[in-house]
Amino acid sequence: MQDRVAIRAVFYWDIMLSSLTALYMYRLAKAHFKKTDPILYRAALLHAIEDIKPSRDVFGDLVSAIVNQQLSSKAADTIYGRLKALAGKFGVTPKRIISLKPSAMRKCGLSKAKVKTIKGLAKAVTDKKLVLASIHVHEDARVMELLTAVKGIGPWTAEMILMFSLGRVDVFSKGDLGLRKGIMHLYGLKKLPSDQVMDKLSRAWAPYRTYAAKVLWRVADRKKSTQNA
């Protein structure tokens, strides 16, 4: 019991510190981009970027990320909203997910594979094979290892958790289509960049690659909205 209280205290302290330093970190990131990549720096000045703060609901974030796999944001938000409604007042928690019938989850719009992954995640958490309460204390590589040990959770999902749930500032997802499109549009490429091109560019953005990713997503979104106008 004392260990659980201590872990919770460390977690909330970590959130408070991260919130206090978020604005300062983005200033540092922009100053870094100004020196290492003027093209990205100019784009950063044009786009307002949200602060990077840790989440208090890593399990819910994981379920949401699984739902988002290979779907548009609009479709994923609709499906996750239905799942939250199905979970009811209990919320999207490991115990509640385990109690839900797979057929009911399928009616929310989830594929059979995603239902299996979400159920497997919930079981891993309740069986304490995956301890989310203390996952924030691990280094990025270890978090990736722990999360991808759950069948159906790949590198992209784990990277999104590192970025958006754990507030890690130096993560970049080469497998994200939006980031590839952002790079293509920002740097005037004729086709989506290769892994080699992404590696070369992202090296210049370290140790603020999460902020670089946020800028690139904005670039991709702006281009898409312009094309659809």
Q: Catalytic annotation on 37?
A: no
Structure tokens at 157: 């999902």
Which of 79, 87, 88, 84 lies closest to 107, judged by CA?
Answer: 79
Catalytic residue among 77, 176, 199, 221: 176
Residues designated catalytic: 176
